[in-house]
Structure 1
Amino acid sequence: MTTATRALTTVSGTRRRTRIKPERYRYNTRAGKVFDVFNFALLTAIGLVALFPFVFVLVRSFAPETELESSAFFLWPKAFTFEAYNSIFSTPAFPRALITTVVVTAVGTVVQLFLTVLMAYPLSKRGLPGRNIIMSGVVFAMVFSGGMIPTFLVVKNLGLLNNYLALILPLAIDPFSLIIIKNFFQNLPSELEEAARVDGATDFGVFWRVALPLSKPVLATFALFYAVAIWNDYMSPLLYLNDSSMWTLQMFLQQVTSASNLQTAQQDQPGYIPPSEGVKYAVVVVSTIPVLIFYPFLQKHFAKGMLIGAVKG
């Protein structure tokens, strides 16, 4: 019965037309209104608390150096300045680190997602020989890891030090992501695969033409997971990249926040010292913006992709 349905009732032999109230009005009592107001206020307060660190960093990145040194807390500067942003973009180290991070993130996301999908799809077939043994190894790898030193020795023996592949290959297949994607492929209707085989499709054809087009939500979800993990990765560049010209944005951010000033100041102005505090906040803002830009476009796939792939199989 829809909200626009009208019920005809007979009272004392007279037919009377009665309008059925929509469900949202039937349950909107005074207690419900109080709860809605309280719930809205609570969620708004939580949102403001979560938003506060971003506003704090953003505002301080535009504040003059003198105000940063004299005041430890403010939400609106007395004067706005772009001196910190001019400082970081005028040095060759920051643009190089930014471009390096973007390229490594893009290539790493494609490689990691490609390898994960290629392993997850065969494991979704129950008739695969040795499937249980491989899955036991995947679960074991998810619970127990080799550790930092064994991983470093493996990367070193493979000759990947000072190589961008060292930032991608050691974490190419995440066991948790593999299990979720495997469960997604496993829950696809078998009738689709049978129909594709009747039309003459091979195993790869079924995978390429049937499984992948239906797996866009879960692939978009884990593509963003991989991208954010690579973008924010600090330990891998610290361990495997000894050449400062190969540093990523996170390594550059660490150097800026730990040093009193940028080591690569403006070449054409000897004696120029960039604002140390303002540069720290400006680098944090610039390193956060790309993730904030792309996150909303893939956020709609999160719930759908995680729920579809999380069904036990």
Structure 2
Amino acid sequence: MYKRSVYEKLFDTLVYVLLIGLMIATLYPFVYVLMASLSDPKYIVQNRGLLLWPHGFTLGTYKYVFENPMIVTGFRNTMLYVIAGTCLNMFMTALGAYSLSRRYLRCGGAVMLMIVFTMFFSGGLIPAYLNVRNLGLLDTPWALIIPSAVNTFNLIVMRTAFAAIPESMEESAKMDGANDFMILFRIFIPLTLPVFAVILLFYLVQHWNSWFPALVYLRSRDLYPVQLILREILIASSVDSMVAGAVAQLDQQPLGETIKYATIIVVTLPIICVYPFMQKYFTKGIMIGAVKG
């Protein structure tokens, strides 16, 4: 039986201490926001520092958050952008990855080089804005869906996974009368399901957390995603409409602070709940898409 040396034990101890420290540093801000949202507003304003449990437990701030019509509208718009955008993303990425993974594709290397080029160089914000405006997408939901139809990194990962599938399987399917769409959806995607699930998660998080494109391309507040509403609440402190109906014994400033924390939890929690269902695919999917160039 192998006996570990003192230096190896010391190294493992340092690694564990470092990882625990990183875990605490990563988790505590979320814990603080959650506990602050459940605490008495006056306590949060009057006391600063460590917060590990709620003081003066209350759910009143969440009531004000859900009574805000912009939060409800923002969630509705975000769900539209997430569902429509992710479906388009996965469809376009799968088609592009399948085509580029085939060795018989003419000029496939040149096309791939042009796609990779976009990872390092882009036209910038102004050309992108002019392009969206000239296409007639300005101030429409499509401005948040079509321009981000394909992510280059996700395309490369899926292409690498597809390229690892033996050509004999594709040839056998074609001999049985299958076309390219049948091969893609009945053979390639089921065989690379971990990669497909991880890229799906990447696109979901991308759309859920996106707020800057909406800030640039949208003018109608009825089209704002929930992340842009959250930005207004945190940066512009636009909580006046939410605290207007507060009870008299609570000042508006303390209640406004806890409403900000409650809004962060409400906006963040749905996407966090998705991770446990995708976790089993995450490491495996990244490895499948990363090995073999």
Q: Same fold (TM over 0.5)?
A: yes
Q: Which runs of 5+ in 2 are unaligned?
A: none
Once the two structures are TM-superposed, the CA of residue 39 in structure 1 deviates from its matched residue by 4.0
Alpha-carbon distance in 2 for matches of 1:68, 1:266: 16
Q: Which residue of 2 aligns with 1:3?
A: none
Once the two structures are TM-superposed, the CA of residue 202 in structure 1 deviates from its matched residue by 2.2
CA deviation profile, 1:246-296 (whole Å, cap 9, x unmatched):
111111111111234425337878999582101111111111111210012
Q: Which residue of 1 aligns with 2:45?
A: 69
Classify the secondary structure of the residue corresponding to 1:149: helix
Answer yes or no: is the 8 Å Cα contact 1:166–1:240 preserved in 2: yes
Q: Which residue of 1 aligns with 2:279?
A: 299
Q: 2:216 aligns with which of 230, 233, 239?
A: 239
Q: Could you say which structure has the larger radius of gyration?
A: 1
Alpha-carbon distance in 1 for matches of 2:175, 2:24: 56
CA deviation profile, 1:105-139 (whole Å, cap 9, x unmatched):
12211111111111111111111122122112101
Does residue 182 in structure 1 map to residue 159 in structure 2?
Answer: yes
Alpha-carbon distance in 1 for matches of 2:245, 2:21: 48
Does residue 27 in structure 1 map to residue 7 in structure 2?
Answer: no
Alpha-carbon distance in 2 for matches of 1:35, 1:217: 33
Does residue 128 in structure 1 map to residue 105 in structure 2?
Answer: yes
Q: Which residue of 2 aligns with 1:113?
A: 90
Task: Single out whichever of 100-109 and 71-80 deviates more from structure 2.
Answer: 71-80
Once the two structures are TM-superposed, the CA of residue 188 in structure 1 deviates from its matched residue by 0.4
- Give the number of aligned pairs: 288
Q: What aligned pairs does 1:180-219 form with structure 2 within 5 A after superposition?
A: 180-219=157-196
Q: Which residue of 2 aligns with 1:279?
A: 259
Does residue 148 in structure 1 map to residue 163 in structure 2?
Answer: no
Alpha-carbon distance in 1 for matches of 2:59, 2:247: 20
Classify the secondary structure of the residue corresponding to 1:264: helix
Alpha-carbon distance in 1 for matches of 2:10, 2:222: 59
Alpha-carbon distance in 1 for matches of 2:130, 2:79: 27
CA deviation profile, 1:66-98 (whole Å, cap 9, x unmatched):
112211223134311122111111121111111
Alpha-carbon distance in 2 for matches of 1:241, 1:261: 19
Task: Single out whichever of 167-176 and 39-48 deviates more from structure 2.
Answer: 39-48
Indicate the percent of aligned positions where both proteins have the same amino acid: 38
Answer yes or no: is the 8 Å Cα contact 2:164–2:292 preserved in 1: no
Q: Which residue of 2 aligns with 1:13?
A: none
In terms of fraction of residues, the more helix-rich structure is: 2
Alpha-carbon distance in 2 for matches of 1:253, 1:137: 37
After TM superposition, which residue ranges in structure 1, 4 or more long, deviate above 3 angstroms?
28-42, 263-274
Q: Which runs of 5+ in 1 are unaligned?
A: 1-25
Query: Structure 1's 187 and 264: CA in aligned 2 closer, same or farther, altered over 3 A?
Result: same
Answer yes or no: is the 8 Å Cα contact 1:220–1:301 preserved in 2: yes
Answer yes or no: is the 8 Å Cα contact 1:261–1:273 preserved in 2: no
Does residue 229 in structure 1 map to residue 206 in structure 2?
Answer: yes
Classify the secondary structure of the residue corresponding to 2:202: helix
Once the two structures are TM-superposed, the CA of residue 194 in structure 1 deviates from its matched residue by 2.1
Letter in 1 for 2:29: P
Alpha-carbon distance in 1 for matches of 2:72, 2:44: 25
Q: Which residue of 1 aligns with 2:22?
A: 46
What TM-score, normalized to structure 1? Answer: 0.85
Answer yes or no: is the 8 Å Cα contact 1:90–1:266 preserved in 2: no
What TM-score, normalized to structure 2? Answer: 0.90
Letter in 1 for 2:110: I
Alpha-carbon distance in 1 for matches of 2:66, 2:289: 42
Q: Which has the higher contact order (CA 8 A, sep 6+)?
A: 2
Query: Structure 1's 66 and 269: CA in aligned 2 closer, same or farther, altered over 3 A?
Result: closer
